[in-house]
Amino acid sequence: MKIHSILQLLILINETKTPAELTRELEALLSIYDFDFYGIWLNQKPNSDQANLMLAGHWPEGWRKTYATKKYGLIDPMRRMLMVAQRPFRWRDAVETFREDPYHKRTARMLQDAARYRILDGYTFPIHGRTGLLGQVAIGGRPVDLSPAELSLFDTAARRLFWRLLELQGAAVELERSAGHDTELTKRQMEVLSLLADGMTSNEIARELQISSHTVDWYINVIQEKFNAKNRQHVIAMAFRLGLVS
């Protein structure tokens, strides 16, 4: 049965010694399941170029350039679902979730372009840490139906692959350190942070929350200290990276 191949990968993950060896094991499993493409990413801000944060992957030649050039990242239902999903999800389900939103025409064009690159469906596995979304593993290509048991095992494998790849690349400790900031914020601090991330000034936030601008500045300074951030722009960047705002 195919499911035994996932169990075998789970055993082999920690035995791999190099990133190349790890990705070979993953690609062998995906071949058994008829998945054509995959990617392992660190969490990115909504408007970032996700290609710059891909730890490993194989996508159709030209697709990532098309995706970036046409700014599909701004409306991609898979990326939007990723910001709120707590569990693995199928791409066609994400498309259905956002079918009636204002971007549905652009989404349809994106899906047409993706189909020309043989990207028809797939699955995304969010990787969460204590402070929020850390990254994702995505597999896709032709439509493949995974059973609930297979989906659960793939989810487990995705998390272990993500961290093992970071370990082999020497980045796991740094990510754990950055994710270990004291980001426990009060309700009011979260309100201020959310409005700050929306581009509001202190005066605008003060009017919105009906408090003084000096109080707003005090809240922002407290958040800045918790994030160990250099300035307000750094606070916003950290908030996106830690998944506190989207």
Q: What is the pLDDT tens value at each position of the chain, 246 positions in all? A: 689 999 999 999 999 999 999 999 999 999 999 999 999 998 754 444 444 478 999 999 999 999 999 999 889 999 989 877 889 999 999 999 988 888 889 999 999 999 999 999 999 999 987 667 789 999 999 999 999 999 999 999 999 999 999 999 887 766 666 555 555 688 888 899 999 998 999 999 999 999 999 999 999 998 988 887 888 988 888 887 766 776
Q: How many Cα neighbours within 13 Å face the side chain of 98?
A: 20
Q: What is the pLDDT of residue 102?
A: 87
Q: What is the DSSP letter of 54?
A: E
> Residue 45: its pLDDT value, please?
47
Query: What are φ and ψ of residue 198, in 5° steps?
Result: -80, 0
Distance in angstroms (rounded) separating the CA atoms of residues 205 and 3: 52
Angle between helices 187-197 and 202-209 (to 10 degrees): 130
The fold for domain 182-241 equals Arc Repressor Mutant, subunit A (1.10.10)
Phi, psi of 55 (to 5 degrees): -80, -35
Q: Which two tokens stand for residue 104?
A: 């549905």
| Residue boundaries of the structural domains of the chain | 3-177, 182-241
Cα end-to-end distance, the chain, whole Å: 40
Q: Which CATH number fits domain 3-177: 3.30.360.10, 3.30.450.80, 2.70.50.60, 3.40.50.11060?
A: 3.30.450.80
At 246 the pLDDT is 60
Query: pTM for the full model?
Result: 0.71
